[in-house]
Structure 1
Amino acid sequence: MLGTRNPFPFPQPENDYTLSGRKQCQKQTFDKPTHLAQIEEPWSRLNDLATLASIRRSVLYSDPQEPRDSLDFHLKSTYDHHKEFLRSKNETLYQKETVTNDHGRNLKNHGQHEVPLCEKDQSVKVWMNAQKSSIHSIEGTIESHHNASTNRGYSRKHDGGFYST
C-alpha cells in the first residue's frame, strides 16, 4: 500500500517558482519553423557543403591514389633504401603529401594560401659550437638542488659520478 505521508518537513521551502505558481521558460522560442530556417544562412551553408572528412566517409567515395593496404602505404613512402639506409621506422613511412606540396591532392577544404616571406631579424645572432660536447658531461648545465635519478635507482653526484651503498 502506498503511503500518503509527505517525507518533507512542514512548512515546505518555497522559491520564486512555487510562490508565484508559474514557471518561466528558459529557452526562447524560434520565430521560424525549422524547415524554413534551414534554408537561410548559416544553416544552408553548413548543411549544403560537405567537408572532406564527410565526403571520405561516404560509401560512394573512391580515391585511386589511396593506399589499399600496408604494402601500398610502404611503397608510396618517400624513403629510398639506397640513399637513406637504416632510417628509423617513422622516417621510412613519410608520405609525399606530408613532405611536399606537389602531390596534386586536396587535403583540406580551402585553397592554397601564399605564406608571406618574413624578413629575418638581423639583431638575432645564431651561435653554433664547433666542437660537440659529450652528452654525459655536466659542465655548463644549470645547477639545481635536485639530483638526477637514473634508471638503476641510484642518484648522481654533482660531478657526474654515482653514489654507492
Structure 2
Amino acid sequence: MGSSSLSVTASGPAVVEPDEAPGPLSVPVLAVRGELDSANCQQLVSAVEAALERASEPTGDGGASAVPEHGAGAARMVLDLDEVAFCDSRGLSALVGVVTAAAHRGWSLRLSAGSDSAVRRLLARVAMTEVLALHRGVQDAAATCGRSPLEAEIHDH
C-alpha cells in the first residue's frame, strides 16, 4: 500500500446531559480522518495521549483539572472515527491500545462511528464489536461516558 495519511484533531466538545449529572457535561472530542494503518497508527496513539495530558492539566486559575468530574471521577473523551476511510490490523490494535490505556488512567474513552463506517465494518468482520463498543454518533458516545462499558452497551440496545 502506498503512502497513507491520518489527521487527528480536536473537534468538540460534545455537550450532553446524562441522567446522573447535575448539569450538562462538556466532553472533549477527537476527530480521526483518513487511513488508520501500520504507517501511522502511532500518530493516533500520540494524539490521544497528548489530548489526555492536556485535558488533565490544571486549569490555570488555581483549580484542579479541566476534565469534568462525574460518577466515580471518570474523565471523558470521545474518539470520532466516522471519517476513517481505511483501518488495518495495526490500526485496530492501536484503537484497542488507546481505549485500554485511557481506562488504566481513569478515563472513559468512547468510540463513535456511523453505521457505514470502515471501522464499524472491520469490527463486525473480525467479531470485535464486543471488545470495542462503537456508538452511532458523537452525542451517543458522549452520553455513555462515565458508565462502565457493559452499562453503556446495555443502555444503548
What's the TM-score, normalizing by structure 2?
A: 0.19
Where is the strand percentage greater, Structure 1 or Structure 2? 2
Where is the helix percentage greater, Structure 1 or Structure 2? 2
Higher relative contact order (CA 8 A, sep 6+): 2
